[in-house]
Amino acid sequence: MSLWKKTATLALLNADCQDTAVSHLGIEITEVGDDFLRGRVPVDRRTCQPFGLLHGGVSVVLAETLGSIAANYACPEGWRGVGLDINANHLRAATSGWVTGTARPVHIGRTTQVWQIDMVNDAGEPTCVSRLTMAMLAPR
């Protein structure tokens, strides 16, 4: 059974990201599963820090992008989610290719949601793990 309460298609999600920080960094939403959202970011000149490694902040942007989109599609119509807290543990550097993140819910409540975002390099090795807490706001 799907956790999505709103229609979530790849075309719609990627269109919503156009002309935002998400598209500027080359982030793409690649898969919508029944209980997860997956996306990726390229490791290139836009996303690396001066020493040639994927910038840790970009990993956090990927995590918050995936978790925020997921939270907003997992809440009732009219409700919206906003970031409350995020943390990230950087486990391995990425210097090329793509880093792919998968967001899965830890908790979906009425007033908060918590999402776990696991990121891996092209070899499937963990690069970063992040946890995002979202505040859920009722319609006004």
Which positions are catalytic?
Answer: 64
Please count the other Cβ atoms lying within 10 Å of the Cβ belonging to residue 28.
18
> How is residue 96 annotated by DSSP?
S
Distance CA(101)–CA(29), nearest Å, equals 9
Q: Is 14 left (phi over 0), alpha (psi -120 to 50) or beta?
A: alpha
Residue with the two structure tokens 């009219």: 78
Please count the other Cβ atoms lying within 10 Å of the Cβ belonging to residue 34.
8
At 135, which amino acid appears?
Answer: A
The answer for residues whose C-beta is within 8 angstroms of residue 123's C-beta and 6 or more apart is: none
